[in-house]
């Protein structure tokens, strides 16, 4: 297993990137962070299965599956609620 870290400082199970944002390692076997799981959802994954295929999370020992599913659920809920809050135009213009 090879893990490459670029501009990341490890503090307990959190990583601090060079821009100051915090990432938590969800899967140590494959090096998947909660940020990578969220990015997969923002890029179109709509289920845990799709996130697992895209990121490789929980594909080794599986001990991280519960936490990975929790991150997926929370992120999908936030995405769905933010989409529901988008106001729709009252009128449509014909192009």
Q: How far apart are CA 50 and CA 40, in angstroms?
A: 9
HSE of 49, CA atoms in CB hemisphere, 13 A: 0
- What is the predicted pLDDT for the residue at 23? 84
Instruction: Encode pLDDT of 21-69 as tens digits.
Output: 568 999 999 999 999 999 999 999 999 999 999 999 999 999 999 999 9
The architecture in CATH of the region 8-79 reads: Orthogonal Bundle (1.10)
């Amino acid at each position: 297993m090879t893990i490459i870290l670029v501009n990341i400082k490890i503090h307990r199970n959190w990583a601090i990137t060079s821009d100051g944002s915090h990432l938590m390692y969800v899967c140590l076997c494959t090096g998947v962070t909660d940020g990578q799981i969220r990015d997969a959802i923002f890029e179109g994954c709509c289920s845990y299965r799709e996130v697992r295929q895209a990121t490789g999370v929980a594909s080794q020992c599986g001990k991280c599956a519960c936490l990975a599913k929790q991150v997926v659920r929370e992120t999908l809920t936030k995405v769905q609620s933010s989409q529901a809050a988008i106001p729709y135009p009252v009128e449509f213009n014909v192009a």
